[in-house]
Copies of this chain bind each other. A is one copy, B any other.
């Protein structure tokens, strides 16, 4: 059945145990093949071979040779058994793959782990095919009346919003008076959100608008499958790296806010067009959308002013869930598509956190669970004793490589892993290329290893008596990679870098401890720590525990879920019930303002020290 490598232009990839087959062109990676079949593999590294998320077993057929990345991420035994990184392997024949459960991406993995996150398909938008009598001198009814009466005969009263009306005449005539109406139920009536060619597929768009990155997902809302996904840089980054500088830009320049909104919408439109191209569709087939983001991104997307988010007490314009006509924001979807924005909790706990909580299933968990989104601002929610308590910590941009002397974003050449073994520093860079800087997971590793190697004391100072401590003339830095070809000078960790990490990890741990105190449980009671987001996915948990960023719990209690906000957004896209659940979560959350919490200062001072111990995390 399986052919040997040859000159064929397409191959069939059989994805098991999922049971999907897909035809792909020669030269397609197995990861891309799986994606085109709507089978999502873990791919936190974005398909560059630096995580082992997309590990699969080639059960039959020929693929391209084992790469250095395969050898780095997969054990020799597994390679011998046919395991490969799907992002590295190119099909050279028809191939049958065996996908291990842990390689399926977040929502499915969570489902596999029994948290019951399989979402019942309950899309907000559905379709009805209609055929309308064309007008004549004997039938002068308006186009709207014509559609209304045809539809009403079969189904009931229908409402055609103004945005849809404007396109109706041309569409009806171009489609010879037949159409697939995309509809939403509004009370006892139906509202038209799109007028599509007969028998068109209908899609939904889920977007996670991060301060730095955008993640977009195209979902077939009639079967719930994610048919394409893509990331992009948030173009607002040109106006400031963090939310505070975006707010400043909006305050400084009267047109600033609408410029930033325009850039963001343009980027999402490009993503939507790319995703549609990949799925063989057009953006007019996108009849529904869910957009999540932190409160500032939420306001910038929607065109709500952000000024008041820049000054205490940082209140949002709106915290409730919103539905905005896509056309009003400039999004080019189906003419009447609405964009659903889940509720915000507070100025610094946004709709993305609500989506992440939904995606992580924390609201259905009867155990004590902490869910954390780590970023410049870290949002934490504690679920315990039937309560949901949240706070926001100013953890700063150190984990994104900012304020770190040799810091950089997680990009090729960034040191992402550091181990000190027998007094020797070992590093691993993203892409395996010569080091050019240190990213967030690298600096966390470095500091943890420096503590274990006794280079640093618990207060973050260099030990003068350590053999590995910098000599007095270089006392303020610890070299990870000496000057060499590919970078200008030593790549090192300075005392000041260590201090940044102390501040950041103290902020996070203080948030966790204050939430525990609010509910009256201790860190030992925590059954699970859910860590979301890109940095959180790369983070070495052992190192983070060693720093004291997280409580000293057994490793298996930590659960890195990747883009939980994106998963939550997709759940809301295919289920109205999930939207109501998100709103329920938001209502239930008790927000704790750390800035004026009586215990904050003392706790924060305590947490500045490195009191963690790696062994606790074993």
Contacts and interface: CB of A to CB of B under 8 A. Distances in A.
Interface in A162-183: 162, 165-170, 173
B315 A165 contact: no
Interface in A153-208: 162, 165-170, 173
Interface stretch (A108-116, A553-561, A588-596): A588-596
Contacts of A146: 315
Contacts of A170: 305, 307
A542 interface: no
Interface string A119-158: 0000000000000000111111111111000000000000
Interface in A305-333: 305, 307-308, 312-320, 322, 324, 328
Contacts of A166: 302-305, 317
A347 interface: yes
> Copy number of this protein in the oligomer?
2
B165 A317 contact: yes
Given A144-B320, A315-B141, A318-B144, A169 B307 contact: yes
A344 interface: yes
Given A140-B591, A141-B319, A166-B317, 20 more contacts: A135-B313, A137-B312, A137-B593, A137-B595, A139-B313, A140-B314, A140-B315, A141-B315, A142-B320, A145-B318, A145-B319, A146-B315, A162-B302, A162-B324, A162-B328, A166-B304, A167-B305, A169-B305, A169-B307, A169-B308
A355 interface: no
What 3 A-B pairs come out closest when comparing CB atoms? Answer: A142-B319, A144-B318, A135-B315
B169 A317 contact: yes
A344 to B, nearest CB: 7
Contact of A168 (B135, B162, B167, B317): B317
B317 A347 contact: no
Interface string A331-346: 0000000000000101
Interface residues of A, number: 45
13 contacts: A135-B313, A140-B315, A141-B315, A142-B315, A142-B317, A142-B344, A143-B317, A144-B318, A162-B328, A165-B318, A166-B305, A169-B304, A170-B307
A425 B596 CA distance: 93
A393 to B, nearest CB: 16
Interface in A273-322: 302-305, 307-308, 312-320, 322
Contacts of A593: 137, 140
Contacts of A591: 140
Nearest to A345: B140
A601 to B, nearest CB: 15
B142 A316 contact: yes
A314 B141 CA distance: 10
A287 B29 CA distance: 59
A308 B140 contact: no
Interface in A572-602: 591, 593, 595-596
A289 B156 CA distance: 31
Contacts of A596: 137-138
